[in-house]
Amino acid sequence: MLRIAEHFHDSDLGRQRQGNEDNYYVRAPLFVVADGMGGAQAGEVASEMAVRSFEGGLPDGDPRERLVETIEAANARIHERSRADSQRAGMGTTLTAAYVAEDAVVVAHVGDSRCYLLRGGDLVRLTRDHSLVGELVARGKLTEEQAEQHPQRSVITRALGPEADVQVDVDIFPAKAGDLFLLCSDGLTSMVHEPKLRPLFDDSDSLETLGKRLIDAANAAGGRDNITVILFRLEEVDGTGSDAPAAATAVSREDDTRSTRPSRAMRCPRRARACRAPPASATTTCCAPRRSRTRSRTTTAAAAPWRCRRSAPAARPRRRRSRRPRSLMRRPRRAAPPRSRETPAPSLAASAAGASQSASSSPSSSPS
């Protein structure tokens, strides 16, 4: 898997322009360069609208499709703005975007801005100019050397804004660690041609030094246009370091959840008076009542002596409190059976008096 090791970006006015119509967007892993065209600062507006289309990043999905969709949406907005505003009529912009995927770089391109790759000492152009001389070179009517000196080399045949629809070139280039990519506007390549561009990459201790060297070379050659340079270098991410903690966590979880039955020497018999101590760094299991769980723990003889849980007095189990209201928890007392109001119960004194009266009134039996 690849990632951005370092990057550099800068834009310079040049020696002959009054304003800078270049714009760029840099937020790894996405890099964009746009070179505007049109009078009355219309080019600056077009290039700014183009790069602002990438502010939210690319949506999830295939990077090739997402890049094309974003560029087509930017083209529609620029074209609509140029038709609605008479001062912005005919404005447009080039655009070159590079997106770093896991093991490749996706490049989308419209216009004559360029993308280069430096690998193994060789500087390779990854894009094709959508210009008049670029079309002639593709047809074999001009060589690269002749195209660089052609008087109509500034005439472009494809850009964002002039037409309602735009055709986007998108390619995927396999990448590897150490690759150095350059995105630039034609303000660099029109002043510093490719045979002179390659030696500038030598003896550069940092991308900042290299980027400033490229801009200075373009200004030294005349600086007729705005100069924008984006450099980024790739490195490979080692996945072993990030996977190691996950593997260790998985192992530790497996060890925690693994249940092993202890040997007889390490069990605590219910009738034994003492338990035999296990060896150091051994997984021990103390016996406990069946209603309690068996615990497995790793102990050392020096850190924590192994003891049986039965040697300590067992904790008294808590009474489980009922969730019923307190008023319903007390059992009501039994009430005495109700007495009849018609026949009240006699008292003890009246009962005794009645018994003595009945005894006196009864006739006594005498012998005849």
Q: How many CB atoms sit inside 10 A of residue 2's CB?
A: 19
- Per-residue confidence (pLDDT) for residue 336, from 0 to 100: 57
**What's the whole-number mean pLDDT along residues 10-19?**
93
Identify residue 266 by its one-letter amino acid code. Answer: M
Mean pLDDT of the chain: 76
- Segments in 124-278 forming alpha helices (H): 132-138, 144-148, 186-189, 194-197, 207-220, 239-257
List Cα–Cα distances, 6 to 9, 184, 242, 300, in angstroms: 11, 17, 21, 49
- Per-residue confidence (pLDDT) for residue 340, from 0 to 100: 52
Q: How many residues does the chain have?
A: 368
Band of pLDDT at residue 48, cut at 50, 70 and 90: very high
Do the beta carbons of residue 35 and residue 226 sit within 8 Å?
Answer: yes
Band of pLDDT at residue 267, cut at 50, 70 and 90: very low
Band of pLDDT at residue 13, cut at 50, 70 and 90: very high
Question: What is Dmax (Cα atoms) for the chain?
Answer: 178
Per-residue pLDDT at 10 exceeds 60: yes
Backbone angles phi, psi at 86, to 5 degrees: -65, -30
- Range list of β-strands (E), 240-316: 282-285, 296-299
Do the beta carbons of residue 30 and residue 99 sit within 8 Å?
Answer: yes
**What's the rounded Cα separation, in Å, for the pair 34 and 257?**
58
- Per-residue confidence (pLDDT) for residue 25, from 0 to 100: 97
- Per-residue confidence (pLDDT) for residue 214, from 0 to 100: 97
- 234 beta partners: 4
> What digits encode the pLDDT tens for the residues 60-114?
999 999 999 999 999 999 999 999 988 888 899 999 999 999 999 999 999 999 9
Cα 52 to chain centroid distance, Å, stands at: 23
**What's the rounded Cα separation, in Å, for the pair 222 and 204?**
23
Do the beta carbons of residue 226 and residue 10 sit within 8 Å?
Answer: no
> What digits encode the pLDDT tens for the residues 292-307?
443 433 333 334 444 4
**What's the rounded Cα separation, in Å, for the pair 178 and 86?**
48
Q: What is the DSSP letter of 104?
A: E
pTM given for the model:
0.65
**What's the whole-number mean pLDDT along residues 205-218?**
96
- Per-residue confidence (pLDDT) for residue 30, from 0 to 100: 97
- CA-nearest of 183, 12, 157, 182 to 92 is 157
**What's the whole-number mean pLDDT along residues 204-231?**
95
Cα 39 to chain centroid distance, Å, stands at: 43
Per-residue pLDDT at 319 exceeds 90: no
| Cα end-to-end span (Å), the chain | 140
**What's the whole-number mean pLDDT along residues 29-58?**
91
- Per-residue confidence (pLDDT) for residue 328, from 0 to 100: 53
CA dihedral 263, 269, 272, 275 (to 10 degrees): 40
Do the beta carbons of residue 214 and residue 223 sit within 8 Å?
Answer: no
Do the beta carbons of residue 173 and residue 105 sit within 8 Å?
Answer: yes
Band of pLDDT at residue 56, cut at 50, 70 and 90: confident
Cα 255 to chain centroid distance, Å, stands at: 30
Band of pLDDT at residue 335, cut at 50, 70 and 90: low
> What digits encode the pLDDT tens for the residues 187-197?
999 999 988 99
**What's the rounded Cα separation, in Å, for the pair 256 and 245?**
16
Q: What is the DSSP letter of 32?
A: E
| Token pair belonging to 258 | 């693994």
- Per-residue confidence (pLDDT) for residue 113, from 0 to 100: 96
Query: What domains, with CATH codes, occur in the chain?
Result: 2-236 (3.60.40.10)
**What's the whole-number mean pLDDT along residues 297-320?**
46
